Structure formats: C-alpha cells, structure tokens
Structure 1
C-alpha cells in the first residue's frame, strides 16, 4: 500500500526556493534540502522526482509568485516612469536582501546555463512576461504623450529587461540600494 504524502508540497517548494536562492543549485545538496524542508529523501524523490525536479518547481514558484507580483505593480495606473522606477527599485530591494542574494532567475541563468535547457526556457518565459508587460505600459505611455512618439515600446521594454538583469547581477557584487538607485535614474532617461 502506498504511503500518503505527509507534508505540504507547496510549502516545501517555497522553502526549497529560499534555499536555492540563498545557496544556489550546486551548493545545495539533497541532504540540505531534506533537512531544510523537514522531509525524508524518499518523500522528496516521490514528490519531485529528484533535486532537478524540486529546483524546477522552485523556479516555477518564483515565476508565479514573486516575479508575477513585481509585474502587477505596472498595471496600477500610475505614470509609466513612476511604475517602471518602482518595479526596478523593488527588484533591487529584494535582490540586496540577505547580503545580496540577487534574483533567483538571474542566479539560475548564471549558474545553470548553457547546459540546462529547461532552466533557459523557464527564465526566458519570465523575461518574456516582463517584456510584454513593460511593452504594454510603454505603448500606453506613448499614446498618452508620457514618452516621445519616436520610441518603440518593444525595444525600450527589451532594453529595460536587459538593464534589470545586469542590475541584479551588480546587486550581488554591491548589495546597496543607495549605490544602485542612481543607475535606475540613468536608465529612466531613455524615456525622455
């Protein structure tokens, strides 16, 4: 008779996400995961297949919670410049927490690519969602006259996502919002 799962899978994925985010994939062992999650190795394998399966679940959890939440602020109806500044600075704030843990998605790219095609697709999907959300905000801003008509919203959005990726890597080197905030202001000048 099969044993029933005796732990909350969603809570386990959330806790695993935190551990992978803090330590990285390679530095996190199965033993670290089982101890941190308070489950047995057999339960981990039964629920997620293996460490990779749990890592993918953690990335998906990140995408549907923190990454999605960051984009919701873009839809609140404030001006484009203010909404984009808030998005960028909030991402910096989260990245510098705990001594500069960075961004789980950017960390995953730096650690797992080019070998891990599944991680590439997962992070590419997150970035595409960011580009689409920013493109829409910038398209509306151009129609309202908030940004010059000469600007292509899609290109600006792609630049902002690329800038954010670099900013999040920099946040690991210099985990200080006061140092990184002026860089956000410089990036926002592209909207002029």
Structure 2
C-alpha cells in the first residue's frame, strides 16, 4: 500500500455520519431487542438449540442486514421468530450430521446457566418430554402454546401449510400427553 501524497487526501478513519435510514434501523433494532430478546432466547431453548444465545444473536444479525428490505417494520417480530426457528432447525440438523461422523461417544450436553435459570424444577419433566418430540411437532407446539400464535402465523414461521400445522400440533400433543402420563 502506498503512502498518500500531499495532494491526495488520506482515507478518513472515522466512518461517515449515519443517514436517517441508518438511524431508523438502529432505533428499530434496539426497540426490537429490548422487547423480544428474552422471548426469542426462550424460544430457541424450547426448540432445542444447543447454543440459544448464538442462535438469537445470529437472528438479530440477519434482520439487521435485511432491515431495509422489510416491507413492514411491524412484521419484524414475525421475521425474527421465523429466523430463530429456521436457525435452530439448521443447527440441530448440522449437529445430527456431525454426531454421525464422530467416532467417540458424545458427552452429555449440559444446559447453559441461563437456560437452566429460565426453567423451574416442576417444568423440567415437561421440557424433557418436549425435547423427545420430533422437531416439527416440537416447533408447532412451542409456537402455538408458548407464544400463542395462530395457525397462519405458525405456518408462516415454519414454512408449511396450515393443515400441516394442525397435524404436527395434534400429533405432538398426543405424544406429549402419552409421555407425561407414562412418567407419573
């Protein structure tokens, strides 16, 4: 790299001032973070993410990158929720593939201190049963009963039809009920 001459200005070390669109994006993301970070973290935990903090951080990064393309800023929460679901699903798939190729037995995973603090003792049995469900059933149940979403919102978050949401929810509820009754 050559030195700038006296006639050429040096590159500025300070970034250019942010425009109104950048300030609006920063404010919108800060608001979104304040309102929904803990619920997105809980969503990632309930969906079975092994690193929920990283999943949520990645989701916020993705929405930051795509903020200008959002048609409706009010839909940012739904986009964020959908991104958390997709990232969790992708990481679980990646871990399943990675674990198939590991020759030594994997150590039992330990929940992070934050995720353990979120769950009370009387909920652990339910969470264990929920973690045993197939991923789509678990997603449908968490989105329906924990977040209280409508079938159309669940379908959008999971990328499936409303009929599939009904099927996954019904099968998941049946399996969860059987698992809970078997533990009593």
- Judge same fold: TM > 0.5, yes or no: no
Given the two structures, how large is their TM-score scaled by the length of structure 1?
0.27
Higher fraction of helix: 1
